[in-house]
Amino acid sequence: MAEKTLHQKQSQNRPELLDSIEEFLEGGVKQTALNFVEYCKANKMPIRWGSTYRWYVYFKSKHIADIGLRFVGMVNGAIGTRVKIKENSCIIQISYLNADSHQFEDYISKENLSEVIWKNVKHCEGCLTTCAPGKDKIILGRSFKNVCGGSIRFFNPAPESLNCIKKLLELRKNDETVGIFYR
């Protein structure tokens, strides 16, 4: 019998995010991930296992964000590419955050978050056929090429990025079109 894949193993035991943070992260990356989890708990946003090294954040039963740890060459893209990210890593992505909407632009401008958003625009890596190839987009008045359908991803977020994530989650929680992206 073939040995189970990591995804099969995790599907069976559905590891807790806090246990995985303790096991795989260190230093500032670990502290950022712990701060994110604490924020989610304090704001009644449960986190549940979603996939290999990936957990989903929910609000009122809607998937509004993801947090992923140490994607080391194990994410096989649907069109044949591999996403490789270093081991001590944390990625936070807001689900279906419509970076093209006026509500989004107005909120970002009011909160002075444009620079942080621009630093975290997600470029297409060919991981899903739903958005590959990426599209050229104008986000908050700045032009970007090859942008993924998810638009914004925070890789090893710095403190100012974590503050931005919290504000974006508040926007997402209040968004009337709360929906599921990539599911």
Supply the pLDDT for residue 37: 97
Each residue's pLDDT tens digit, 7-59: 677 778 888 899 989 988 889 999 999 999 999 999 999 999 988 788 999 99
Please state, rounded to an integer, the average pLDDT across all residues of the chain: 78
**pLDDT interval class at 80 (50, 70, 90):** very low
Residue bearing the bigger pLDDT, 149 or 109: 109
Look at residue 5 and tell me whether its pLDDT is greater than 50. Answer: yes
Look at residue 75 and tell me whether its pLDDT is greater than 70. Answer: no
Q: What is the mean pLDDT of residues 145-152?
A: 76
Each residue's pLDDT tens digit, 99-117: 556 677 788 888 898 899 8
| Euclidean distance between CA atoms 27 and 148, whole angstroms | 29
Domain boundaries, the chain: 6-174
Each residue's pLDDT tens digit, 131-140: 667 888 888 8
Look at residue 81 and tell me whether its pLDDT is greater than 70. Answer: no
Q: Is residue 157 within 8 Å of 92, Cβ to Cβ?
A: yes
Supply the pLDDT for residue 99: 54
Residue bearing the bigger pLDDT, 47 or 141: 47
Q: Which residues does 79 contact at the CB level (< 8 Å), separation at least 6? A: 126, 129, 132
Supply the pLDDT for residue 128: 59
Look at residue 96 and tell me whether its pLDDT is greater than 90. Answer: no
Look at residue 79 and tell me whether its pLDDT is greater than 70. Answer: no
Each residue's pLDDT tens digit, 84-93: 556 788 889 8
Residue bearing the bigger pLDDT, 96 or 87: 87
